[in-house]
Chain A
């Protein structure tokens, strides 16, 4: 049997139902899930550059960005799976994680926009099962229904826009294609929960388990951003965007609004999970501004922010889950779980985009491009960063408000170790940013070629 670039995708998709069957034997399900994720990531990491394969009649192609994002997101999923196994056993989580892994790989490899979008939509619906827990004690079912409604609405509108864009002859009025791009953008905004489409995310943050939130905001959200730019590139819709400057203003306006609005909401966040989700919404806004500048550095920065934000959000959400469980209903305190608290604070550095972590160069590029586009836009992004800094500092001070009786780590410091692993990855990327940014730059070049074809 030959190993092709389709192999990791097929492996993940086939193992998800297998793990579903054995899910109640938690150890077996967890080990199988971790081994599958590791095998899939290894296959992608060692695959030759620009490897291609056919799945039915759909073409798969491994781009440098696809390789980077697939390995990073599968590794993040692995960290979440390990946390669920060792710290918060939930047997339904393992097949969901494999399903999400398959979706991540499929989205990054597929070259047909409609197929990419359909697979993404399936992926965004998969965690709904993990969002609901202890349904008689909380509003997790209501939160899951609201998420289902937003994703279904955004997903189906986007699919319709893509199907129309593909079926319409190219001699149609340009305004039709511009309108379709706007519809597609709104569809992605609904799925990404950027402001003003964020209400379902706020309820999810309050009611869903931290690990399910980590899977959604840490893995699926970054892949949605990448899918957005990939689909725009592959669908041939980009040149029509240049016909109307107001469309670019709309993209930048929604991005800027989400950046500042998310950061404002973060400053008022009353619990740890809400702080993380609002910070992610703000960072996604900054990423959308980067993409909306239609410039090389902006696109590189936007995608880099999305990937780094996913990793940092995972780190903070896992730590938040541990801190809340150890608090026994009281306010979360570092004294109960010092390592988890340290992981939470370190994750905040990533979400702010402060040096030396890899999130910094991305944010620097986007803010630079935003200033060159309009002073008010650059100032808005700097304001968003400052507000996020205040929000994270406020919560960090609250965590350590009672001091630390001792520096001894908590028993079973799973979230702390998971946070340390993620932070080490982000730090390594910050020390050698070229390895992280070069594959994204290769994609940005492709995007710009599609924007202004010769």
Chain B
């Protein structure tokens, strides 16, 4: 549960950041928290891929800022995005969670649960927050952040999908990298137009 709170708080930090460099750092924190939350269902090789992807994506955004002042002030959009995410997460969990015959009673404070409740809630939170940020974004800065948060949520959901896990993790890590590179390219161009 503490890890879930860490994901929620770091997401809110990324969402509320007005400077791109801070957004990038907060996104890296989200990525780490998300990986820790699903550590039980992740191999060492996957953890390495996910850590590199998160670091690279955050690094690309950090560098694309070029100075500490550039960013997008979310303003009222922060609250709208948070409200949408808060409403959408339980709705998504109710609609799409894994339904088992047993009631979930054991949700440990510091570790992930034996089922997949915490991971699913975390992924739905990230997907909802990302969608809300993307929909309300005005520039490439928050568009990139929204897309990266959603991809972090997808990486969580994929841990329980059957199939070649490492290859799928690498594929989505590449998507994360391409999204970060495209976002950075657009951030630089957008800034050139404005200035």
Q: Which B residues are in CB contact (< 8 Å) with A112? A: 163-164, 167-168
Is A136 in contact with B193, judged by CB distance below 8 angstroms? Answer: yes
The A106-155 residues at the B interface (CB cut-off 8 A) are 112, 114-115, 118-119, 121-122, 125-126, 128-129, 132, 135-136, 141, 144-145, 148-149, 152-153, 155
**Smallest beta-carbon distance B46→chain A, Å:** 13
| Nearest A residue to B123, CB-CB | A160
Binds B, one of A171-179, A306-314, A403-411, A419-427: A171-179
**Smallest beta-carbon distance A68→chain B, Å:** 25
Is A122 in contact with B157, judged by CB distance below 8 angstroms? Answer: no
A163-B95 contact in complex given A114-B163, A145-B139, C-beta closer than 8 Å: no
Is B174 in contact with A132, judged by CB distance below 8 angstroms? Answer: no
**Smallest beta-carbon distance B151→chain A, Å:** 6
Is A122 in contact with B131, judged by CB distance below 8 angstroms? Answer: no
B103: interface (CB < 8 Å): no
Partner of B143, one of A135, A149, A180: A149
The answer for the CA separation of A169 and B162 in the assembled complex, in Å, is 10
Q: What 1/0 flags go to B116-135 for Cβ under 8 Å of A?
A: 00000001000100110011
B186: interface (CB < 8 Å): yes
Partner of B189, one of A118, A126, A135, A164: A135
**Smallest beta-carbon distance B155→chain A, Å:** 9
Q: Which A residues are in CB contact (< 8 Å) with B151? A: 156, 159
**Interface residues, chain A, with chain B CB atoms under 8 Å away:** 56-58, 112, 114-115, 118-119, 121-122, 125-126, 128-129, 132, 135-136, 141, 144-145, 148-149, 152-153, 155-157, 159-160, 163-164, 166-169, 172-173, 176, 179-180
The answer for the CA separation of A100 and B146 in the assembled complex, in Å, is 24
A141-B134 contact in complex given A112-B164, A152-B147, C-beta closer than 8 Å: no
Partner of B161, one of A119, A129, A141, A166: A166
B interface majority secondary structure: helix
Is B143 in contact with A122, judged by CB distance below 8 angstroms? Answer: no
Is B154 in contact with A159, judged by CB distance below 8 angstroms? Answer: yes
**Smallest beta-carbon distance A154→chain B, Å:** 10
B79: interface (CB < 8 Å): no
A168-B98 contact in complex given A145-B139, A160-B127, C-beta closer than 8 Å: yes
Is A166 in contact with B134, judged by CB distance below 8 angstroms? Answer: no
The answer for the CA separation of A30 and B121 in the assembled complex, in Å, is 49
Is A145 in contact with B179, judged by CB distance below 8 angstroms? Answer: no
**Smallest beta-carbon distance A295→chain B, Å:** 30
Is B167 in contact with A152, judged by CB distance below 8 angstroms? Answer: no
A148-B168 contact in complex given A141-B193, A168-B98, C-beta closer than 8 Å: no
Is B190 in contact with A145, judged by CB distance below 8 angstroms? Answer: yes
The answer for the CA separation of A57 and B163 in the assembled complex, in Å, is 9
**Interface residues, chain B, with chain A CB atoms under 8 Å away:** 95-96, 98-99, 123, 127, 130-131, 134-135, 137, 139-140, 143, 146-147, 150-151, 153-154, 157-164, 166-168, 170-172, 174-175, 178-179, 182-183, 185-186, 189-190, 192-193
Q: Which B residues are in CB contact (< 8 Å) with A56? A: 164, 166-167, 170
- A58, A115, A118, A172: which has the most chain B beta carbons within 10 Å? A118
**Smallest beta-carbon distance A416→chain B, Å:** 33
Is B171 in contact with A156, judged by CB distance below 8 angstroms? Answer: no
Is A145 in contact with B186, judged by CB distance below 8 angstroms? Answer: yes
A125-B179 contact in complex given A57-B167, A172-B98, C-beta closer than 8 Å: yes
Is B154 in contact with A156, judged by CB distance below 8 angstroms? Answer: yes
- A58, A145, A157: which has the most chain B beta carbons within 10 Å? A145
Q: Which B residues are in CB contact (< 8 Å) with A135? A: 189, 192-193
The answer for the CA separation of A169 and B100 in the assembled complex, in Å, is 9
| Nearest A residue to B162, CB-CB | A166
Is B162 in contact with A148, judged by CB distance below 8 angstroms? Answer: no
| Nearest B residue to A113, CB-CB | B163
The answer for the CA separation of A316 and B137 in the assembled complex, in Å, is 34
Is A152 in contact with B163, judged by CB distance below 8 angstroms? Answer: no
Is B161 in contact with A167, judged by CB distance below 8 angstroms? Answer: yes
Is B143 in contact with A148, judged by CB distance below 8 angstroms? Answer: yes
Q: Which A residues are in CB contact (< 8 Å) with B162? A: 166-167
